[in-house]
Amino acid sequence: MSKHPVSYRIGRICRLFVTAGICLCLAACGAPAGTASSGAAVPSGSSASSGTPAASAAETSAEALPVITVITETVEDGEDTAAENTAAENTSMPSAADGTFTITFAGDILMDPGYSAGDALTKRGAEGSFDEEALSIMRDADLFVVNNEFAFTSRGTAVSKQYNFRTDPKNAQILKDMGADLVTLGNNHTYDYGEEGLLDTLDTLKAAGVTYIGAGKDLEEASAPAVYTIGGFRISLVNAESILFNSNPPAQCALEGKPGTFDCYRPEMLFEAVRKAKAESDYCIAVLHWGSEGKSTPNEKQFTLSRGAAEAGADLIIGGHPHVLQTIGRVGAVPVVYSLGNYLFHSGTYDTGVIQAVFRPSEKRLESLRFVPMQCRNMKVFTLSGSEKERLLKYMRSLSPEVQIDEDGIITLP
């Protein structure tokens, strides 16, 4: 199926008090870009190599730049661009020729040229950073969603934290080249350069024609869902971050009249946002920035949020922040993908993938949910096949006893 060009508009939805995220807790590594060392441990029972040839040395970034190392645990074998992003109306979109509608979700991307992965992505562009099949998967989706883990700005002052990520606003074109329609900003790096950086990011995305959720010029915009209507079937997407449960909102929190991110430092804020979104739609997807970095299994806070979000009306939950793949589970009949990990975020060799949610609008239901196995090597994403595909699917099955994942990556709830 092919992507349909439309103008995206966002539905206003709730007024809540929220807070912001916490620093990205990663370990820094001084290795130059393009070194052979991996930036992340490969799970026991999995291979750092793939059946797909590795990128050539010519593809690597020539400059010596810092890389980001993700410390992972070892797991055994197992809008019309001029329109406001807060427009009240929802976007009406057609179904594909076969009557289905596909939303594809990817994990974290980085475009900061001060880091090896960001340098590679901004220099190579989409065509040089993803293999042909990955590009087709992103571009052919009716709606492609990716986590934008940095600011589009050349202004602002870096907030006090270990890592601060930003890129030139001109690089927003790479999102379009990837096929991105919707980006999630409810994360702990959107506010890395303060209010100026955040507002520049919002303006940049509007100008590029890329819809965003999870941050905004005030609380109303930051907490608003994206709402899409396909043949009378309404799908809403809510994005929030909840890295820590704190008693008071930190500086980057969006408030009434204050720009920031939608951070649910109190779980009830997320649940209320989901309730309101579900009340205006047939199907609600919660995209959450949560969990412990480097851990392949969810923590108790993720379980608390997923249970509460499902009870509030979420029909599908997609997670990120841990920078590694995590368990695919369930809360009753609600599938929960706890973390899609990094998509193209650091320079190591690591497993990744995307989730394809295929809907049958005429029947107002989710028809299928699929995990597509991929791997990032030498700062390029490859779609896995053969034994490497089966290896990663086997690994995901070992993490996900509550669901079934078949040889094509189709996820079912027994």
> Is residue 162 included in any domain, yes or no?
yes
Strand bridging mode 260-261 / 328-331: unpaired
> Can you give the pLDDT at residue 68?
57
Helix/strand/coil for 183: strand
Tokens of 318: 């997609």
CATH code at position 94: 3.60.21.10
> Is residue 3 included in any domain, yes or no?
no
Q: Which amino acid, 217?
A: K
Helix/strand/coil for 388: helix
pLDDT of the chain along its 414 residues, tens only? 446 433 333 333 332 333 333 333 333 333 333 333 333 322 333 333 333 333 333 344 334 565 555 554 443 433 333 334 443 346 888 888 889 999 999 999 999 999 999 999 999 999 999 999 999 999 999 999 999 999 999 999 999 999 999 999 999 999 999 999 999 999 999 999 999 999 999 999 999 999 999 999 999 999 999 999 999 999 999 999 998 666 677 778 899 999 999 998 889 989 999 999 999 999 999 999 999 999 999 999 999 999 999 999 999 999 999 999 999 999 999 999 999 999 999 998 999 999 999 999 999 999 999 999 999 999 999 999 999 999 999 999 999 999 999 999 999 999
Residue with tokens 């709730």: 14
Helix/strand/coil for 272: helix
> Is residue 399 included in any domain, yes or no?
yes
pTM here is: 0.82
Residue with tokens 């290896």: 391
> Can you give the pLDDT at residue 330?
98
What DSSP assignment string belongs to 208-232? HT-EEESEESSHHHHTPPEEEEETT
> Can you give the pLDDT at residue 384?
98
Cβ atoms of 203 and 241 within 8 Å: the answer is no
> Is residue 6 included in any domain, yes or no?
no
Cβ atoms of 226 and 199 within 8 Å: the answer is no
> Is residue 302 included in any domain, yes or no?
yes
Domains held by the chain: number = 1
Cβ atoms of 215 and 183 within 8 Å: the answer is no
Residue with tokens 């009716």: 142
> Is residue 4 included in any domain, yes or no?
no
How far from the centroid of its chain's Cα atoms is residue 378's Cα? 21
> Is residue 105 included in any domain, yes or no?
yes
Range of the domain at 362: 27-412
Nearest to 85, CA basis, from 7, 142, 192: 7
147 CB-near residues (< 8 Å, 6+ apart): 106, 107, 108, 109, 183, 184, 187, 289, 320, 343
Tokens of 244: 């820590």
- Of all residues in the chain, the percent with pLDDT exceeding 90 is 72
Cβ atoms of 238 and 273 within 8 Å: the answer is yes
> Is residue 183 included in any domain, yes or no?
yes
